[in-house]
Amino acid sequence: MSSKEEYVRQIFDRIAPRYDLMNTLLSFNRDKAWRRVAVKLSGARPGFKVLDVCCGTGMLTLELARAVSPGGKVTGLDFSPAMLAIARERVRSSPFGRSIEFIQGNAMSLPFPEGSFDCATIAFALRNVPDIEGALLEMKRVLRPGGRLVSLELAKPSWPLFKQIYYLYFDRLVPLLGKWGSGADGPYSYLPRSLKAFPHQRELLETFNNIGLIDTVCLELTGGIAAVHVGTKP
């Protein structure tokens, strides 16, 4: 595991118990609606086999399980045992829980043969991997031809005034709110840093094209605070 991967894993192991609450607070509860858009654009339908990479506490995994029921199956993969423990607890009481399997693993080296899934998703996690293109290529590899790859990620708003207010909130308030809510200092200072280092949504769309995905689309959400990218394996 690279030093970035080890650093990221430790962060998520540490904030796991507060992750869902902080997501809701920091995104003004928009994260759930964004995940629903991602599921819709994934084209997941009953009977589909879906892989949710970097599934965290399983929020998107559960939405996907709803979409593929009856008859489908969702595999959630993450490298943080603490995040996976919460994910397992979340789905235990859900009617869709039986169609979900969680696996501890690394997004950079997926433990599945080529063409195993109808659809592969990754939410709020491309920012965290050591090599974005490498992670996307791994997802593409495990998709069947015609399968869709979907990324939901924080993005960079374009409107000048909105952008200024947003960055002020993100740079100054998010680390403070994060420290207060999670009881830990580092993780929520890492969040603005990771967004700054992440490519603009237009560049990410180019990466989708460059790795050979077709019918690629980028949909900005909530004024460009987040974006969903979709591509299909030829």
Task: Give the Å distances, CA to CA, from 154 to 19, 34, 94, 95, 183.
Answer: 16, 10, 28, 30, 23
Q: Helices in the chain by DSSP H: which ranges?
A: 3-26, 30-42, 59-68, 81-92, 132-142, 160-168, 174-182, 187-197, 201-210
Looking from the CA of 144 toward its CB, the CA atoms found within 13 Å total 8
Q: Return the range that interacts with ligand SAM (CB under 6 A); candidates 106-114, 157-165, 199-207, 224-232.
A: 106-114
Please identify which residue in 83, 143, 228, 230 interacts with ligand SAM, judged by CB under 6 A: 83
129 scored as a contact of ligand SAM (CB under 6 A): yes
CA distance 34 to 40: 10
Does 106 bind ligand SAM (CB under 6 A)? Our answer is yes
Stretch that binds ligand SAM, among 55-63, 139-147, 166-174, 179-187 (CB under 6 A): 55-63
CB of 25 to ligand SAM, least distance (A): 14
Q: Which of 54, 119, 154, 226 binds ligand SAM (CB under 6 A)?
A: 54
For the bound state, the minimum distance from the C-beta of residue 43 to ligand SAM, rounded and expressed in Å, comes to 18
Kindly state the smallest distance separating residue 114's Cβ from ligand SAM, in Å. Answer: 19
128 lies in the site for ligand SAM, by CB under 6 A: yes
- C-alpha 59/C-alpha 56 separation (Å) is 8
Min separation Cβ 160 and ligand SAM, Å: 28
What is the C-alpha separation between 11 and 184, in angstroms, rounded? Answer: 9
**Binding residue for ligand SAM (CB under 6 A) from 55, 64, 126, 204?**
55
d(CA 2, CA 229): 26
Nearer Cβ to ligand SAM (196/214)? 196
Torsion of Cα atoms, 96 then 99 then 105 then 108, to 10°? -90
Using CA atoms in the order 170, 163, 131, 120, what is the torsion angle rounded to 10 degrees?
100
Residue 107 binds to ligand SAM (criterion: CB under 6 A):
yes
Query: Which among 139, 136, 38, 53 is positioned nearest to 102, based on CA atoms?
Result: 53
Q: How far is the CB of 159 from ligand SAM (least distance, A)?
A: 25
Binding to ligand SAM, residues 160-219 (CB under 6 A) = none
Residues that bind ligand SAM (CB under 6 A): 5, 8-9, 12, 54-56, 59-60, 78-80, 83, 106-108, 123-125, 128-129
